[in-house]
Structure 1
């Protein structure tokens, strides 16, 4: 299992790095767009299309990394009032529900992605893009989130601390 999680962590780190680089590219692209419009009185409409796609990819690529680091926002209302000896089991039940939700979303996202590929659907904006390229990050990353959550079911560590309040 450790070899599997090591592999998963490497892929997760790579996706998080790509998300960070894409975010930096968006920052530079927006500056370029503003300067180009102000100085040269023109800009590229394609930049905004890539920024829109990038927002989805950044969200999806960063999500498994956040799960691994317990970086997702969650509220511990129930785990704070559950007795301490029950808390680890309760946390594992909650995380099992998160795994189930991620798996269901990954399944349906894969179904939509495959259907888009088979039907050769195109996302038409200023730049026409095959829809499956836009959608492919969702089944992959929701599956990876489900796998990252399993770490808190089968491992020694639990996701919840039992301290009341919001955590991020």
Structure 2
């Protein structure tokens, strides 16, 4: 039950990420049309797009990892025996969990330090810096959980998408 809810949360974040990317596309097209008509562009759109790209990336990354849609080279692993492949999946999942966990921990420390300092981002608009930094530990925490799930249940990693 928890796994189903977790997967639904990941899909929800992916949908939110896709929605953000859709809004970005609309604002880029709108700014191009306005500029070509000699009208003023949407104020702050460039800054908002930069932040939205970061947010969409970090919100969508755990879902992409969970479905195996990330870039990977499977030339060697596709020719391994099932047992060896499963062991390698466990090893890479352990490395991924440790890496994502450590980066997420340091990301959380950056969020807390930024909030404590009261750091602000001053561009077209002014927002607290920690608002943008908060997406990093959230995303990496979810990725850590996905790697741990693959470590414990390597068959979930087998449903990944394959390109070549």
Residue 18 of structure 1 is matched in structure 2 by 16
Residue 9 of structure 1 is matched in structure 2 by 7
CA contact (8 A) 1:45 1:126 kept: yes
How far off its partner does 1:156 sit? Answer: 5.0
How far off its partner does 1:76 sit? Answer: 2.7
In 2: Cα distance, 1:105 partner to 1:78 partner: 28
Shift in CA distance, 30/6, structure 1 to aligned 2, threshold 3 Å:
same
Q: Normalising to structure 1: TM-score of the pair?
A: 0.87
Residue 65 of structure 2 is matched in structure 1 by 67
How far off its partner does 1:151 sit? Answer: 2.3
In 1: Cα distance, 2:57 partner to 2:32 partner: 24
In 1: Cα distance, 2:83 partner to 2:146 partner: 24
CA contact (8 A) 2:89 2:154 kept: no
In 1: Cα distance, 2:76 partner to 2:30 partner: 48
How far off its partner does 1:60 sit? Answer: 0.5
Q: Normalising to structure 2: TM-score of the pair?
A: 0.89
Q: Structure 1 unaligned runs (5+)?
A: none
Residue 105 of structure 1 is matched in structure 2 by 103
CA contact (8 A) 2:97 2:145 kept: yes
In 2: Cα distance, 1:158 partner to 1:9 partner: 12
In 1: Cα distance, 2:98 partner to 2:23 partner: 34
RCO comparison, higher one (Cα < 8 Å, 6+) = 1
CA contact (8 A) 2:90 2:154 kept: no
| Count of equivalent residues | 162
Cα RMSD after superposing both structures: 2.0
In 1: Cα distance, 2:78 partner to 2:13 partner: 33
SS at 1:21 equivalent: helix
How far off its partner does 1:84 sit? Answer: 4.1
